[in-house]
Amino acid sequence: MNIVPIIDSAMAFEDAVAGTKAPREVIDSLCLVNVQHRTFEGQLHQGQLIIHRGIAKDIIEIFELIEQTEFPLARVIPLVKYKWSDNMSMADNNTSAFNYRVVMGTERLSHHAYGRAVDINPCLNPVIYENGRIDPSGATYIPERPGTLYASHALVKEFIARGWRWGGNFRSSVDYHHFDKPA
């Protein structure tokens, strides 16, 4: 029996990048992929990610693993829905990728600005700064909780095996929801 997923996002590429400040050469390097996942209620949903074409195969295969293992995701919706606000997307526990922005507290473009990074369940896998501040606000990190990532987790191992970096291994601020694959 085929289960029809609940559609959370079914945008055209042009709609998914509308309003971004990214230059044309960045936009031309991106693609929109449909991904399926289970929610915390166990329902099958379909969302979308805007990513760099060079990582599309990795993302499609990793999201197949996410679906097969029933690793729960709250939602997977392009940031245009959040008016390109990383804070709004994180507060909604949205799994996302492309966002033309700088690394917080710097002038350096993020890997997200090139579609080469993915953030997964940020409310369960927050950023914990050296000073103890946690983003998104109100998030907690409890590794035993479903939808949470930790060093020995199968998804973390799969990303790393494919040459991605995991923010849980960063030296200063620990960014449990973040994965990126440098060019």
Q: pLDDT tens digit string along 3-15?
A: 899 999 999 999 9
pLDDT tens per residue, range 75-131: 999 999 999 999 999 999 999 999 999 987 789 999 999 999 999 999 999 999 999
- Does residue 164 contact residue 58 with C-beta atoms inside 8 Å? yes
Does some domain include residue 85? yes
Does some domain include residue 159? yes
Spatial strand order in the sheet of 178-180: 117-119, 178-180, 165-166
pLDDT of residue 36: 95
Spatial strand order in the sheet of 127-128: 134-135, 127-128, 174-175
Does some domain include residue 91? yes
Does some domain include residue 138? yes
Does some domain include residue 52? yes
Average pLDDT of every residue of the chain = 96
Give the integer Cα–Cα distance in Å for 70 and 111.
27
Per DSSP, 54 falls in state: G
Does some domain include residue 1? no
pLDDT of residue 1: 62
* Structural domain span for residue 39: 6-180
- Does residue 38 contact residue 67 with C-beta atoms inside 8 Å? yes
Give the integer Cα–Cα distance in Å for 89 and 81.
8
Total tally of structural domains belonging to the chain: 1
pLDDT band with cut points at 50, 70 and 90 for residue 2: confident
Q: Is the pLDDT of residue 60 over 70?
A: yes
Q: Is the pLDDT of residue 26 over 70?
A: yes
Does some domain include residue 81? yes
Q: What percent of the chain has pLDDT over 90?
A: 92
